[in-house]
Structure 1
Amino acid sequence: MSSAVSQRLAGKTILITGASSGIGRSTAFEFARTSPKDLKLVLTARRIDTLKEIAAEIVKEVGEGVKVLPVQLDVSNADEVRSFVGSLPAEFSEIDVLVNNAGLVKGVAQAPNIAEEDVSVMFATNVTGLINVTQAVLPSMLKRNNGEGAGDIINIGSIAGREPYVGGGIYCATKAAVRSFTTSLRKELIAKRIRVIGIDPGQVETEFSVVRFGGDKAKADAVYAGCDPLTPDDIAEAIVFAAGRRENVVIADTLIFPNHQASATILHRKST
């Protein structure tokens, strides 16, 4: 199976947003390891130094068959996104797989005490940013195969987009918007050979909770206490699996839980 997936991904250009950590970073490595002989990766995030380190690590691990282009990018800035896509080097300009991964959560405040800045940054990154990148990349995908189109758009959502919870009103709303946009886009592109894929993780241990609690590691660790959460690698494997299917196979909608989770709020915690 891995051989078939490697062959299907060979020669493709993969764009991953939010690639400096967590799921995005793991996804970059998983694509490189799956098709190490002929692959191009465009890795974007705000932390360019981290992206450059990741690029060097990937080449060191898998060899020169994977070309990696690290680019500093703020997905919430539409002009910056358009300029980025329009100025990609020719070798990387035809994006075959777009992984819209960039996203964040800020705080657990409830209305009417939610900071306006937190509302703005979550919607700007999680929703507007995802739409900005999609709209910048999609025209090129639509032109391929004499107008029939080609390519994959993989949007990383969350269980939060399916099941709102207390203290997550804004984050849940942003992920619900991602889910709606993904479904609408799939319907709008039904006559094209472009796959629109949604992947919704449950509990995954990344920098997510550290960011949510403003860098408070103790509070972040408490989120996972007594649990065995998913890892970024688990989600990366699902992303590469979806991208590596035969062209006519669309893994349209995927919800991924760790074994101890049954919903956004129902988790079995072992006593410590």
Structure 2
Amino acid sequence: MEGKTVIVTGANAGIGKTTAASLYANGACVIMACRSLQRGEAARQEIEAMLASPESSRKQLWIHSDRPHPGKLLVRELDVSDLESVKRFAISIVKEFSKIDVLVNNAGINGMGTDIPSKTPQGIPFIFGTNFVGHFLLTRLLHPNLSKSGGGRIVNLSSVMHHWGSKDVSKAVSSGKYPRQYQNSKLAMVHLTAELQRQYAETRVSSVAVNPGFVASDIWRGIRPDSLVGRMFRLAMAVLALDTKQGAATSVAAACMSDEEICGSKVPLYLVPYWVPSFARLPFEMMGVFTGVHSCPPRVSKNEKQISMELWKECTKLCAGYLE
């Protein structure tokens, strides 16, 4: 990754921070795109302190060389729930950097037990808007810079929860009803990955969808630890959950793998941190023992191409005023 420029959204906590730190430790110039500059700067300082201790950094990060060779670590403001913020961020990045090599669309919220707005500033249901629509716009706006790298990469954070999304996620968007926001946002990431492979094939910009697994990360902060549900959940997490290094494995691998490994796939490339047998996707794709990074087909219907194209059109309408 030495010499490459990488953007990681939601890089101040959880697997986003570990992803950013790992790519930085391997020589990349990493832009930590965070909603709060204060929390982003605090995370940057934590990463710098971690890299100062080789033993600690190797335990917590994916480092592919005998000796870490850090690149640059920068913090920039980005609120993916607000399309105005996405537009401002993209404009500033295009001015500051001539090319972007990797975009990791990581930021997300599950809404469990958290006090969140019902809508984004643009009136889109908050969870779907944060997890998907903001990243859709960001990807579209940064495509020219990604294409200048001669092999740009887009990494889209999905989840096992995409299995429970709507049969046709494009209709869920066009209807304006947005059922199962979290599940559909993660299914939409899979469809976006497929459509990006088609839309951007001529510009040599590739895309990968990744499932981080069940991870003990900051995303569960909304669950009250003192409640019965909270105590049971924490117990389950202690037994079954991956740590943030394991959870970041698929994102780091997707950012680093070669174009040949991605473009040869006939279905959207989807990486998981567990061994998943072909005869029983669930529960093996949901939780288990970390066994490295594996590729398996995501759950998409036979008319994936049509759904992905319609989803692209519907989200283009939602973002119309910001794509110019």
State TM-score, norm by structure 1. 0.76
Kindly tell me: are residues 208 and 11 of structure 1, through their superposed partners in 2, closer, same or farther at Cα, counting changes over 3 Å? same
CA-atom RMSD, angstroms?
Answer: 3.1
Cα contact 1:98–1:153 (8 A) shared by 2: yes
Deviations 1:106-129 (Å, cap 9, x if unpaired)?
148xxxxxx945982101101111
Q: Would you say the 8 A contact 1:230–1:258 is kept in 2?
A: no
Match of 1:79 in 2: 84
1:163 aligns with 2:164: yes
Per the alignment, residue 102 of structure 2 pairs with 97
The one-letter amino acid of 1:231's match is D
- Structure 1 residue 253 displacement after superposition: 1.2
Could you list the per-position Cα deviations for residues 7-37 of structure 1 after superposition, in whole angstroms to 9, with x for gaps in the alignment? xx1100110001111110110111123x1xx
Task: Report the Cα offset of residue 77 of structure 1.
Answer: 2.1
Q: CA offset at residue 96 of structure 1?
A: 0.8
Per the TM alignment, residue 93 of structure 1 is displaced from its structure 2 partner at its CA by: 4.7
Quick one: structure 1 residues 46 and 245, their matched pair in 2 at CA, closer, same or farther if it must change by over 3 Å?
same
Quote the Cα distance in structure 2 between the aligned partners of 1:233 and 1:163: 26
Question: What's the CA shift for 1:208?
Answer: 2.0
Shift of 1:164: 4.8
Task: Indicate the SS of the match to 2:240.
Answer: coil
What residue is the counterpart of 1:237 in the other structure? 249
- When residues 242 and 221 of structure 1 are mapped into structure 2, their CA distance, relative to the original with a 3 A threshold, is farther
Note if 1:200 corresponds to 2:220: no
Q: Which residue of 2 aligns with 1:256?
A: 273
Where in structure 2 are there 5+ consecutive unaligned residues? Answer: 53-68, 167-178, 289-324
**In 2: Cα distance, 1:266 partner to 1:152 partner:** 26
Q: Which position in structure 2 is the counterpart of 1:6?
A: none
Could you tell me which amino acid in structure 2 is paired with residue 54 of structure 1? A
187, 190, 210: which one aligns with 2:201: 190
Query: Residues 247 and 81 (structure 1 numbering): CA distance in 2 closer, same or farther, change over 3 Å?
Result: same
In structure 2, how many angstroms separate the alpha carbons of the residues matched to 1:131 and 1:221?
36
Q: Which runs of 4+ in 1 moved over 6 A?
A: 264-268
Q: Does 1:47 align with 2:50?
A: no
Q: Residue 271 of structure 2 aligns to which amino acid in structure 1?
A: T
1:51-103 Cα deviation digits (max 9, x unpaired): 11222233344478421111121112223222212223866452111000011
Match of 1:223 in 2: 233
CA contact (8 A) 1:209 1:223 kept: no
Overall identity of the aligned pairs, in %: 25
| TM-superposed deviation, 1:172 | 0.7
Residue type at the aligned position of 2:232 = A
Taking the aligned partners of 2:221 and 2:249, their CA distance within structure 1 comes to: 23
Q: Which residue of 1 aligns with 2:57?
A: none
Mapped contact 2:214–2:242 kept (Cα < 8 A): yes
Choose 13-22 or 80-89, whichever is displaced more. 80-89
Q: Which runs of 5+ in 1 are unaligned?
A: 1-8, 109-114
Residue 221 to residue 198, structure 1, CA distance change in 2 (3 Å): farther
CA gap of 1:187–1:238, structure 2 versus 1, over 3 A, is same
- The 1:116–1:247 alpha-carbon spacing in structure 2 relative to 1, beyond 3 Å, is closer
Q: Secondary structure at the match of 1:225?
A: helix
